[in-house]
Structure 1
Amino acid sequence: MRSLRVSIQVLLLVIVPLALQMALLAWMSTLQSEAEEQLRAAEHNKKLADGITKLNAEQFETISKMGHMYQLAASTPEEIDGVIQRTEEEYKVIDELSKDEPELNRTILSIKRDQMLAFELARQIRATDDPIKQEILWKRLGHQVQDIMYGRLSKLAHKYEQLAKQSTEAQAAARQRFQQVALWGSGLIMAFTAIVGSALALSIWYRLNRLSDNNLRLATNRPLHPELSGNDEIAKIDQTFHNMAVALEEAHQKERAVIDYARDMICSINKGKFTDVNPACYTLLGFTRDELYGTRVIDAIAETQETAHQFVSSLRERNSVTSFEVRMRHKDGHVVDTLWSTQWSEKERSTFCVIHDISERREAERLREEVMHMVTHDLRTPLTTLGHIFEILIHNKDTENDERKSHYLEVGERSVNRLALLVNDLLDIEKARSGQMAIDFKPCSLEERFRICSDSVAATAEAKGLKLNVHPTDLIASGDADKIDRILINLVGNAIKFSPDKGTVDVSCGISENMIKIVVRDEGKGIAPEDLDKVFDRFHQVKGAHGPQSQEKGSGLGLTICRAFVELHGGRIWVESTVGEGASFCFTLPCSAEVSEK
C-alpha cells in the first residue's frame, strides 16, 4: 500500500467499501427477486389449488344434488345448464391460470372434455325414458364423475396445494436469507471499512508523527529517524526532508569549518557574555572555547573600567557593521591590540563579532616610529659628525695642523664604528628572528668567557672608578663562545653604564634546574616594575629609574640581541630589580655534557 500515493489510498478506502456495498445490494436484490418470485409462485399455485378445489367442490355439490339417476331425471334442463355454465366459468379461470404451464393446461383441457362428456351423459339420461338406457348411461356417468372428482382433479388440487406450500416456505427462506445477508454483509463491510480506515489513519498518523519528530530532532541537532519506506507522498516528503537535513549539515559543516579555521576570533555576545566562540580565541587570548564560554566580555577588555563598560553597553546600539579598536587582555596578562567588526542581530538578540589581532601592525607601527627615531637621532648624529669632519678637512686642509687632523679622524672613526655596530646589531636581530642564525654548540669555559668580558670592559670600568667583581668558576656551558661573549659584554657594559661612580658590578654563575644560571648585578637606581617586561624590546631605553641620564646613549638593541642569543641557546633571560637597590640581569645556558655527567 505504501507504494501507492496517499490520495489513491484514501480513494480506495472510499471506493472499495462502496463496491462491496453495491455487490451486497445486488445480492440482496437477487434475494429479493427470488423471494418475490417465490411469492408469485405461491400465489399462483394457491389460486390454481383454490380453483381446482372449488371446481371439485362444485362437482361434488352437483353430484350431491343429483346423487341418483331419478334425481337427475327429475332435474330441469335449466338446472343442468346452470351447472354447466358455472363449471365452464371455473374452467376459464383455471385455463387463464394455467396458460403458462402447457402440461397443466393440457391436463385441464382433458378434464374439461371429460367433464363436458359427463354433462352430455347427464342430458341424455334426462332426455331418455328408457330405464335400461338410463341405467347404462348412469353407470358411465358415475365412472366418469368418479374419475374426474376423485382422480385427476383431487390429485391436481393436492399437487398445487403442496406447490403453494413449498413456494410459501421457499419465500420465507428467501426472506430469511435476505435479512441475514443484509445484516452480515453490512456488518462485514462496516468492519472492513473500520479496520482498513483505522490502519490507514494509524499509518498516516505514525508517519506524520515521524516527520514532526524529525523536524524537532533537526531543530535540536539530534540524529534523525531512518527514512520511511514506500513511494507515497509522505515517504517522498521524508526523503526530501532527509536530503535537506544532509544539505543543511554539509552547509553547517562548511560554515563551521570556515569559522573554526578562521585566523580571526569570531564570537557572539549576549547580555555582555560570550555565548559562542571559535577556536581562534586560544591563539588570540590564550583561552579555550570552554574557558571563554559564559565569561563577561568586560573581563577580557584591557581598558579602564569606565571605557570597558561603555564599550560593552554600546554593542547593542551598533545596528550596522562597524569597526573599532579595543585592547584586550591575554590569559598570561599581556595586552593584545585588536580590531573589532560587530553587527547587532535583533532576531537573535545577540551581537556577532569578528576580532582581528592587530598587535603585529601596532608593533610594526611602533617599530617604524623607533626606526625613524633611530634614523633621526642614532644615525643622523654620527653621519652629521662625519659630514662636518669631511667639510673641515676639505676646506681647511692647508690650515689645519696634523694634531687637529688626527683628532678629527679619530672622531670620524668612532662615528663609523658606531654606525657599523648599529647596522650589525640590526642584522643579527633579524637573522635570529627569521631563523637564519645557527648556533654551533661546543663546550665553552665560562672562566674564559668572564676573562674576555673583563678585558673588554676594564677600561670603561676603570674610567668610572668601578670595581668589577667576577667570581671564579669551573663550569662549562654548551654553546657558541662568540655569542656568549657578546651577551656578557652587553650586560656588563650596561651595568657599568648605569652604575654610580665608585660602585661595584658583580658577575657570578651557578647550577639551577640542570641549567647554568649567570647573574650580572649592578648598584644603580633599579628599574620600575612597569618597565621590567619592556627592557628587552627593540629600541627601548629605560629613563630615570636605572640611573642618571648618560651622555652616551645606546642604540636600544643590546638587550634585544641578548634575548635573541639566549633563546637560540635554549635558555631564558630576565631581570630582577627593586627601585633604589640596583638590578640583576639573569640568563641561563645549557650545561656541557661533561658538567651533566658530574
Structure 2
Amino acid sequence: MFWRSVVGKLAITILLLVSFVLFILTILLLEFFESFHVSEAENEMMQSAGKMARMIEQSEDRGFSLKNATLMKDSTSRIVIMNRDKGEETLDSTDAILNEADTDWLRNDEELKKVLSQTKSIQKETVLPNSGTEAMVVGTPIGQDRALYIYKSLKTVNKTKAETTKLIFLAAGIGIILTIVFAFFLSTRITKPLIKMREAALDLTRGEFNTKVPVLTHDEIGELAMAFNRMGRQLHFHINALRQEKEQISSIVNSMADAVITLNRNGNMLLTNPPAQQFIQNLNYEQEIKSSDENPITPEPLNETLSSVIQDEKEVIREINTQGRTWVMIMTPLYDHTTIRGAVAVIRDMTEERQMDKMRQDFIANVSHELRTPISMLQGYSEAIVDDVAETTEEKNELAQIIQEESLRMGRLVNELLDLARMEAGSNQLNKEQIDTDAFIERILKKFKGLADDNHVELIAEKHLSVTAVIIDADRIEQVLTNLIDNAIRHTKDNGYVKVSIEGTETVLNIAIEDNGSGIPEEDIPFVFDRFYKADKSRARNSEKKGTGLGLAIAKNIVEAHGGTIDVKSKRGEGTTFEINLPLQT
C-alpha cells in the first residue's frame, strides 16, 4: 500500500511536518494580525482624538472648530463633544443622526465618565445598545469642562481582519500544495534509485547476477547504487566459484567407490552418492523399513553411530553386516565453529577383502590339508617297506601301488595349482584349432558312458548345431566338460540323468550340463568357482573320489580365456545346470 512504501512514508512525513509548521504559523499570524488591526485602529483614533481636542481647545469659534474636526475624521468615525454645565451635559455632534438616546451609553458608562472628570484618556471596545453594533470608543478631555469622544464601528476592522485571514489561509493552502508537490518530487527523486535497487535485489534472488542498477545521481544514493553493482559482480563471481566447487565435490563424491553420507545433527541425510543409496536400501530392506526418495529414512545403525559421535565428539569406526556383505563405516563429526552440526560417514564394502583374506587362509589350509594326507601316507607306507612290515612280495607291491597313487594325486594337485596360477597370470597360451563339433562332443560323451552306467545315471545328449566346425582349444574345453560332466554324474542319485545340451551358430557355442542331482546350497552358489571351495561335503556320491576344489576354478579361467562366460543355476534337491557361452571366430 501507498503509506507502507518509502515514497508514501517520506511524502507523508514531509507533508505532516510542513502542515504542522504552517498550522502553528497560521494561528500565530491570525492572533498577531487581529491584535495588530485593533491596536492600529485604536492608536489612530487616539491620535485623531488628541489632535481634535487640542484644535477645539485652542479655537474660540466653536462651530468652526467642530467643522474642522469633522474634516479630520474618516468617513466611518463619529465625534461627540460633551459639556458639563452646572452638572448638566450638553451634546455637540458632527452627525445629525445622533440624538440624545444614541448617546445614553456615553452618559451612563462609568468608565467614560472619567474623561469628563478630567482624569485621563480612555479607549475601549463596546456594543452600541441601540443598534447592537460593535464599536470602538476613544475619549479625551478638552479643557476643564468638556470631553471629546470618537467611536467607530468595528465592521471595517473585522472586514480587514477577514481579508487578512483569507490571505493567510490562501498562503497556507498554497504552501500545502507546494509541499505536497515538493514532497512527492523529493521522495520520488530519492526513492526511484531505491526501487531500482529493490528490483535488482529481487533479480539477484532469482539468480540473475548480471543485473545492474543505473547510477542517476552522484550523491550518497549514487554511491549506494555503485556499491550495489560491485556487490552484484562480487556475488556473481563467488556464486560461480561456489557452484564450480560444489560441482567438483559432487563429481568427486559420486565417482567414489565408497559410500558417502552427510547427516545433520537431527539425523537427516543431506548428501548421498550412489553407493550410499545402495547401502541404505540394503539396510532398510533388511530391517523391513519402507523408504522413498522424497522422504528418505535414516537407518538405525547410522542414527546410533551419529549419537555416539555427537556425545563423544570424536571419530567412530563401526562394522555393519547386511545382506551377506560386510561394510566398515568411519563417521567423523562436522563442526560449526565450536559446536557439532552433523557428521560425514564414509562406508566401504569390505566383503571382497574379507573374502580374499578368508580365501588366502583357506588356500593355505586346503593346500596343507590336501598335501598332508598323501605325504602322511607316503611316509607311512614307505616306512612300512623300509621296516619290512610287508613281508611278502604281494604286500610290498600293494604298498608300492598305494604310494604311486598318492604320488600321482600329489602331482595332479600341484599341476592343477600351476595351471591355475598360469591362467590367472595370463601366461598360459591357448592352442586354438578347427575341430569337428559333432565328433568332439561324441568323443567326450563316449568317455563317460561307462561311468554313467556304473552309477546308474542316464547320459543324454541334445545337439542343435548349425555349423559343423568351430575354432577352439579342444584340449582345454575337453578339460572343462570333463570336470563338469564328472561332477554331474558323481552328484546324481541312482536312476537320475545328466543332460548335455549343445547349440551352435556361426558366432556362439552354447553348452549346458544339466542334472537332477542333490543341487548346490544357495549360500554356496556365489563361491563355487573359487579355488579350493567345496560345497556341502555330503554332495559327494563317492567319498573316495572327492576333488581338490580346483576343477571349477580352472574351468572358469579356461572359459574366460576363450572370451566366454560360465554360469551356474541350482536348487537344493532339484539339480544343477552349468551354462557355457563361447564366442566363435569366423
2:77 paired residue number: none
Change (3 A) 1:362 1:408: same
C-alpha contact (below 8 Å) 1:520/1:586 kept by paired residues: yes
Change (3 A) 1:457 1:267: same
1:453 paired residue number: 444
Once residues 474 and 579 of structure 2 are traced to their aligned partners in structure 1, the CA distance between those partners, rounded to angstroms, is: 18
Once residues 348 and 223 of structure 1 are traced to their aligned partners in structure 2, the CA distance between those partners, rounded to angstroms, is: 31
Of 377-386 and 183-192, deviating more is 183-192
User: Which of 301, 318, 323 is 2:317 aligned to?
Assistant: 323
1:365 paired residue number: 357
Question: 1:228 and 2:223 equivalent?
Answer: no
For 2:330, the aligned partner's letter is S
The DSSP-based 3-state class of the residue aligned with 1:324 is strand
Change (3 A) 1:554 1:311: farther
1:166 paired residue number: none
1:380 paired residue number: 372
Question: 1:277 and 2:278 equivalent?
Answer: no
Q: Which has more strand, going by share of residues? A: 2
The DSSP-based 3-state class of the residue aligned with 1:327 is strand
C-alpha contact (below 8 Å) 2:459/2:499 kept by paired residues: yes
C-alpha contact (below 8 Å) 2:424/2:557 kept by paired residues: no
For 1:203, the aligned partner's letter is P
Alignment of 1:535-554 (within 5 A): 535-543=528-536, 546-548=539-541, 550-554=543-547
The DSSP-based 3-state class of the residue aligned with 1:418 is helix
Once residues 532 and 199 of structure 2 are traced to their aligned partners in structure 1, the CA distance between those partners, rounded to angstroms, is: 72
Post-superposition shift, 1:488?
Answer: 0.8
C-alpha contact (below 8 Å) 2:200/2:211 kept by paired residues: no
Question: 1:255 and 2:249 equivalent?
Answer: yes
Normalization by structure 1: what TM-score? Answer: 0.53
Alignment of 1:13-92 (within 5 A): none
Change (3 A) 1:360 1:544: closer
Question: 1:355 and 2:341 equivalent?
Answer: no
The DSSP-based 3-state class of the residue aligned with 1:260 is helix
Once residues 515 and 198 of structure 1 are traced to their aligned partners in structure 2, the CA distance between those partners, rounded to angstroms, is: 84
Alignment of 1:281-360 (within 5 A): 281=276, 297-299=283-285, 312-318=299-305, 319-321=307-309, 322-329=316-323, 335-342=324-331, 353-360=345-352
Change (3 A) 1:429 1:378: farther
The DSSP-based 3-state class of the residue aligned with 1:340 is strand
Change (3 A) 1:516 1:200: same
For 2:261, the aligned partner's letter is C
Post-superposition shift, 1:359?
Answer: 1.9
The DSSP-based 3-state class of the residue aligned with 2:509 is strand
Normalization by structure 2: what TM-score? Answer: 0.54
Once residues 311 and 206 of structure 1 are traced to their aligned partners in structure 2, the CA distance between those partners, rounded to angstroms, is: 46
For 1:536, the aligned partner's letter is F
Deviations 1:473-524 (A, max 9, x none): 7743443323211111111221233345787654342359974332334464
Once residues 274 and 576 of structure 2 are traced to their aligned partners in structure 1, the CA distance between those partners, rounded to angstroms, is: 40
C-alpha contact (below 8 Å) 2:480/2:555 kept by paired residues: yes
Deviations 1:396-451 (A, max 9, x none): 8999978478536623531442232331343155236xxx6666665432334335
C-alpha contact (below 8 Å) 2:529/2:556 kept by paired residues: yes
What are the ranges of 5 or more consecutive residues in structure 2 without an aligned counterpart?
A: 1-9, 19-166, 214-221, 290-296, 310-315
User: Which of 415, 432, 441 is 1:421 aligned to?
Assistant: 415
Aligned-residue Cα RMSD (Å) equals 6.7
Change (3 A) 1:207 1:263: same
Once residues 563 and 510 of structure 2 are traced to their aligned partners in structure 1, the CA distance between those partners, rounded to angstroms, is: 13
Change (3 A) 1:379 1:227: farther
Deviations 1:573-593 (A, max 9, x none): 344555555544332333565
1:134 paired residue number: none
Once residues 171 and 541 of structure 2 are traced to their aligned partners in structure 1, the CA distance between those partners, rounded to angstroms, is: 125
What are the ranges of 5 or more consecutive residues in structure 1 without an aligned counterpart?
A: 1-9, 19-176, 286-291, 304-309, 330-334, 594-598
Q: Give the structure with higher Rg (CA).
A: 1
Question: 1:199 and 2:189 equivalent?
Answer: yes
Post-superposition shift, 1:386?
Answer: 4.8
Once residues 282 and 197 of structure 2 are traced to their aligned partners in structure 1, the CA distance between those partners, rounded to angstroms, is: 46
Change (3 A) 1:582 1:252: closer
Once residues 587 and 449 of structure 1 are traced to their aligned partners in structure 2, the CA distance between those partners, rounded to angstroms, is: 16
C-alpha contact (below 8 Å) 1:344/1:350 kept by paired residues: yes
Alignment of 1:406-417 (within 5 A): 406-407=400-401, 410-411=404-405, 413-417=407-411
